[in-house]
Structure 1
Amino acid sequence: MPPFIASLQREWQRLRACRWDWAMVSWVPLLSMALMCWIFSAGQPYKLPIAVWNEDHSSMSRQLVRMLQATPGLEVVHSVLNPAEAADALQRMQVYGVVHIPPGMERDVKRGGAATVTLMHNAQLATASSLLQRDLQQVVGTLSAGAEMQARAKRGDPHQALQVRMEPITTKLVALFNVSTNYEQFLAATLVPALVHILAMTAGVWCVGRELRDRSLGAWLQASSSGLDTLAALLGKLAIPAALLWGSGMLCLLYLAQLRGWHVAGSMGWIAVGLAALVGVSLAAGAVLAAVTLSLRTALSGAGLLSAPAFAFSGVGFPLLSMSASARGWALAMPYTHYARLQMEQWQMGAPVAQTVPVVGGLLLATLVLLALATWGLQRARTLPERWGGR
């Protein structure tokens, strides 16, 4: 029997015999990705809880509170009376921010002076913090402009000239991609392949490392007399996890694209090819770690070290061009960084396929190199039976 077929059948029998091994490449990935999609299904954060510290108690301050409550992104849940209560609400995570309205705000504004509304917020929670700042600036800006226009109108300024005088230079913001700034579109869609990357690298380690742990490496490779036979046996072992993990990832991406309505601007087929290349390079990298270290435990640790931070270095969360040179070099060495770029270019930007061909080519080349290294490691491991059985 050809080594590829023999290894494929052997791996299928082992997966059927061990329900947890089967679970880790079948329903557990699907459940994990479904949970990821469910977390971001709301799309945008709404009704972020805030507290108001109102020291003015005027009609203008009450109008400001009503405007804050009417803003979709905010919800006034507490009214605090002093700095201690404000600090306590923030420290207990009951609210994401406290809006302080200073005493005499309405009086100062009516006299032509200035008043400062202060937002105390937890900047450690970067997303909530930025959303609070944006919404508060819009609300206070609207209230301030209304008060100024009303005052100028009372002084006899022509109504037609008020808007020009208030804002002689305007800003026009044009969002080209992800116009609604929806977190499901850019976070859920990129976290799914990141999870596939982690699971695939772990599966690559486990498939090979389990043979070492169980002292069954010789039985697995007994029909492999050459390097090509060993490579064929390795491909047969990795084929089932590759198909299952790729299928799970594509199922979730299709769910987001079809059932959730996130139209793919480019080629979904090319995204599928890129995901297959990512799964291939991840499995091969895991196999290399197990074949070279000859230790399942060490290889699993290495897989976690390399794959778990991949999303953080991909440029999706923190801008890639703003990283230090060493961090950016590490990010560019990670396969997920390049796949994330391919998916965003195809999903949201509608980039030409020719622009992302080098990404797929690079991932495939890396896969071939890693498979060659894994084959060499397995050939070496066959000559070291005394190293088998380690954890």
Structure 2
Amino acid sequence: MAIADRRRGTPQRNFARFIHAFNTEARMAARSWTVHWLGWIWPLILFVVISGIYQAGTLQDMPVAVVDQDHSTLSRQYVRQLDAGSHASLVTAEGGLSEALDGLQQGDQYGLIYLPHDFEADALAGRQPSAAFYYNSLFYAAGFYSTLDASGLTAGLQQSMRPQLAAGMGLSMPGLASISVAFESLYNASGNYIYYQQFAAVVHLLQLFVIVATIHVLAREAPELRASSPHILRAKALGVRLVGKLAPYTLLFSTLLMIEVFFLVWLNGAVIKGSVLWMLAITAFYVAASQAVGLVLFIFTANRFSAYSLVGMLIGIAQTYSGVLIPALAMPLPAQLISHIEPLTHALSGLFDQFLRDAPGTSGLYACLKLSLYPLIAYVIAKQRLRKRLDFSPA
């Protein structure tokens, strides 16, 4: 009878231990300026900076050098209309082609337009005029984006000159079949920074603060820091107390990301296509997975400074292999395996499904299930090694 009573009392005792650990850590966090800086001050400052960088929504006014050897009415019209476009901002290279090439090589301009002699004469004579547009692809998308207005402008000028050429030759314009091609960009993922890259950057940076905060919180339990911090993890029921100790930060960072998403929607005109509740669930599991990474780092390093030194490497790997910088399907198999190991990959996939694609709830559930594996694995490791790490290793 006594054994049955103890078993019935175990859930109540574990819940009380969880609440005690949660309340104790929440009071500590409220009094810690380090937690305030890591938990919301620095993340919001970086969010404001990133929002300023991506405010235009896409790359605009890329500096492009112009070498006009023709100086004709048509060449000046071409330069003027291209400069009026949104992507390129044209700068005349007074020193000619050599000066423009030097500027392109040094990164002063992202592109170079060269209009040769007889540009207008060839066009009016019915010959094929040529204009060269070089761009520096070493600057990732910037050089390519500077060329986006050129092809449409060239096609428009050619279309406008056809009646003029036909009239000069005494010919009538032949009737052409009307062919209509409609281009529809699904989700506008690569071209719009607000909808894609800014959102991905905010989610990615959150992982940095979560991992660093987790290591800092766990280090306070080490023997040399124990006098200045309530020692939660030495009592019975380590797993329950560990979850209670980390739970305030799970709530803090999940709330922070949802606030940043709200500002993203409100200030930049973004639209959430799917379910906000599933986004919140994925965010909570993503924060828990990031805490699990911080926990494992703390356990398997000699001190917190060694753990901090590895955070930057892990964050860089996460960004590289998450599919934001490099398409995941284009990676070789080892890189795809690394991508699947990173929690950021699954978090971004699930959040984008809800943010941009109006995916069904099963997509959010699948993302949450994958992210739940990280805290489960970390929990098993912590049960075996965390107390040894706290007892025999410096903070």
Contact 2:24 2:230 in 1 (8 A): no
Residue 199 (1) aligns with residue 213 (2): no
Moved more, 2-11 or 184-193: 2-11
Structure 2 residues without counterparts, runs of 5 or longer = 1-12
Q: Which amino acid aligns with 1:48?
A: M
Alignment match, 1:142:
156
**Cα distance in 2 for residues equivalent to 1:80 and 1:100:** 13
SS of the residue 1:220 aligns to:
coil
Q: Deviations over 1:310-353 (max 9, x none)?
A: 22211123211111111111011111101111111111111111
2:293–2:374 Cα contact (<8 Å) kept: no
**Is 1:375–2:376 an aligned residue pair?**
no
Assess if the C-alpha contact under 8 Å between 2:322 and 2:328 holds in 1: yes
Among 291, 305, 312, the residue aligned to 2:313: 305
Q: Map residues 177-326 of structure 1 onto 2, 5 A cutoff.
A: 177-178=187-188, 181-212=191-222, 214-216=224-226, 220-221=231-232, 223-225=234-236, 229-326=237-334
**For residues 72 and 230 of structure 2, what CA distance do their matches in structure 1 show?**
84
**Which of 40-49 and 263-272 deviates more?**
40-49
**Partner amino acid, structure 2, of 1:253:** V
Q: Distance in 1 between matches of 2:355 and 2:59?
A: 22
**Residues 209 and 294, structure 1, Cα contact 8 Å, conserved in 2:** no
Q: Deviations over 1:246-295 (max 9, x none)?
A: 11111010122244332211111101100110000101110121123242
Partners of 1:89 and 1:222 lie apart in 2 by 61
Tell me how far apart the structure 2 counterparts of residues 119 and 296 of structure 1 sit (CA, whole Å): 52
Q: Could you tell me the TM-score, scaled by structure 1's length? A: 0.88
Q: 1:1-391 alignment to 2 at 5 Å? A: 2-159=16-173, 161=175, 164=177, 171-178=181-188, 181-212=191-222, 214-216=224-226, 220-221=231-232, 223-225=234-236, 229-381=237-389, 385=391, 387-389=392-394
After TM superposition, the structure 1 stretch with the greater mean CA deviation from structure 2, 19-28 or 4-13, is 4-13
How far off its partner does 1:157 sit?
4.6
Give the drift of 1:54: 0.6
Paired with 2:140 and 2:393, the residues of 1 have a C-alpha distance of: 48
**Aligned 8 A contact 2:190 2:196 in 1:** no
Cα distance in 2 between the residues matched to 1:80 and 1:212: 66
Question: Residue 273 of structure 1 aligns to which amino acid in structure 2?
Answer: A
> Could you tell me whether the CA contact under 8 Å between 2:219 and 2:304 is conserved in 1?
yes
Describe the SS at the equivalent of 1:140: helix
Aligned with 2:271: secondary structure? coil
Between stretches 173-182 and 293-302, larger displacement belongs to 173-182
Change (3 A) 1:334 1:214: same
Task: Pick closer, same or farther for the CA change 1:222–1:244 going to 2, 3 Å.
Answer: closer
- Once residues 310 and 185 of structure 2 are traced to their aligned partners in structure 1, the CA distance between those partners, rounded to angstroms, is 40
Inter-CA distance 37–213: structure 2 relative to 1 (3 Å threshold): farther
For 2:20 and 2:383, locate their aligned partners in 1 and report how far apart those are by CA, in whole Å: 17
Which range moves more in the overlay, 372-381 or 238-247? Answer: 372-381
TM-score, normalised by the number of residues in structure 2? 0.87
- Check the 8 A contact 1:96/1:122 in 2, yes or no: yes
What SS class does the counterpart of residue 146 from structure 1 fall into?
helix
The code of the aligned residue for 1:376 comes to Q
Cα 1:256–1:89, aligned 2, differ >3 Å: closer, same or farther? same
In the alignment, the residues of structure 1 paired with residue 281 and residue 215 of structure 2 have an alpha-carbon distance, to the nearest angstrom, of 23
Q: Distance in 1 between the 2:367 and 2:171 partners?
A: 61
**Distance change >3 Å, CA 124–CA 332, structure 1 → 2:** same
8 Å CA contact 2:233, 2:241 repeated in 1: no
What percentage of residue pairs aligned between the two structures are identical?
25
1: CA distance between counterparts of 2:290 and 2:349?
17
- Taking the aligned partners of 2:67 and 2:349, their CA distance within structure 1 comes to 44
Paired letter, 2:67: W
Q: Please say if residues 213 and 295 of structure 1, whose CA atoms lie closer than 8 Å, have aligned partners that are also in contact.
A: no
Unaligned 5+ residue runs, structure 1? none
- Structure 1 stretches of 4+ moved >6 Å: none
What is the total number of aligned residue pairs between the two structures? 380
In the alignment, the residues of structure 1 paired with residue 230 and residue 347 of structure 2 have an alpha-carbon distance, to the nearest angstrom, of 36
Q: Secondary structure at the match of 1:312?
A: helix
**Contact 2:273/2:355 (<8 A) preserved:** yes
Structure 2 residue identity aligned to 1:224: A
3-state SS of paired residue (2:221):
helix
Match of 2:3 in 1: none
Per-residue Cα deviation, 1:105-144 (whole angstroms, up to 9, x for no partner) = 1222233322321112211112221212221222222223
Q: What RMSD over aligned residues (CA atoms) do the two structures have, in Å?
A: 2.6
Letter in 2 for 1:304: G
